[in-house]
Chains A and B, each alone.
Chain A
Amino acid sequence: MSTARAAAILLGKELRLEFRTRELLNATVVFAIIVVVLFSFAFNPTPDESRHYGPGLLWIAFLFASSLMLHPSFAREQSNDTLDALRMAPVSSFAILLGKMLANFIFLALAEVVLVPVFAVLYNVSITGIVGRLVVVLMLGSIGIIVTGTVFSAISSHARMRELLLPLLMLPILAPLLIAAVEATSALFTTQPYLDRTWVAFLGGFDVVFLTASWLLCDFLMEE
């Protein structure tokens, strides 16, 4: 079976599993909204300040929410002993990883679709004219978060204290992505919004580097 087809089937399985309960998605969205609201209490920003701090806050909320959301991705397989079944299936390890990455990407994208309008209302940021460009930045940033986060979810699922370990592994690695995503989003939130090509290229580069690394190293992640 080709990797793409296997990944698509596994993606279907992940989506079916999640949409039976929608536990993960609900928790992620609520958590991200809580971060946004608490931030507003902690700093009480004026409209000018919220334009200045908004992008950072938005990405911090995405990062923290995904560090929670990505943990069950592999932990769920472990508690049900279904990872062995996946390993026995006649598909490549990269297909398993890719299926999970695609599913996690969809979950994060759905959370963003809910969170960004809420954020725009609460922080008085107008996003009507920049939707297309914002989607590009959000997509590139989210791919980076999901690629590294899914790999680290596979790593941390074998350790003790795995819920705590995942953010410890994931957040420092994502620091350059956070900087680039925040700068690119800030450029869009200015009075004359523009797509900052340097940072967008950086985000793309980050995604390519870590996607290639996970393709090269995925066999080690999946071995018994």
Chain B
Amino acid sequence: MNDRTDFGAALTRWQKPWHMLFYKELLRFRRVSFQTVVAPVIMALLYLLVFSHVLESRVSVFGGRVSYTAFLVPGLVMMSILQNAFANTSSSLIQSKVTGNIIFFLLAPITPWGFFLAYVLAGVLRGMVVGFGVWLAALYFAPELWRPVAPGWVILFGFLGGAILAMLGVIAGLWSEKFDQLATFQSFIIMPMTFLSGVFYSVRSLPDFWFKVSHLNPFFYMVDGLRYGFFGVSDISPWVNLAFVGTVFVMLTWGTWLLIARGWKLRN
């Protein structure tokens, strides 16, 4: 009997069980990359084409220092990161729950942190890949963006935004019993918060009331922070953005981990 146990123990030293779960999540979106990567990039470019064509000559942002098309690109990059990070974790979890194959890794010796990291990192990675694709394609329309002013801020806010939405995706995936419930979460929470976060406009152009309301939307700080990375200017200080986004990140990390550790809607 011991030889079998030792076999497992010896090989375990080489690889953590959650690495395989992470790899499976990557494989899942890579296998359908047209749907998970190419289609969202095309969608973002359509937004760029339509909005920039209609509004380029009518909207002035940051006192005219930045063209509207260029202004739009970081917003669309962030929107793509957020939506795809959320879609990756939430759809993967609900699929595993509905088909029942979630049992394969619930029976495995994967810790709650391992479960958390596998899903969230895969979600962030898909978000970042799509965001990178949007940025590359958008360079055709706004070549001045080939070199962001502060690339560190771009990566930092891209990562934090992706991670926050990936965690929200985990929560939504755990909570939902069927695809319909997930669609509700996406349509009534994620989409409105994304569209009303300043992706398509500067919040300074809004009436005072809506300007204040925008500050209650955590997505606004992610978009504004990423925009600072590209232009060196933003609606509010990047440090304020970082403080807000960082706080949400820490709180959601704790909350998501706690739900997984307690087996919320996973283990009876």
Q: Do A and B bind each other?
A: no
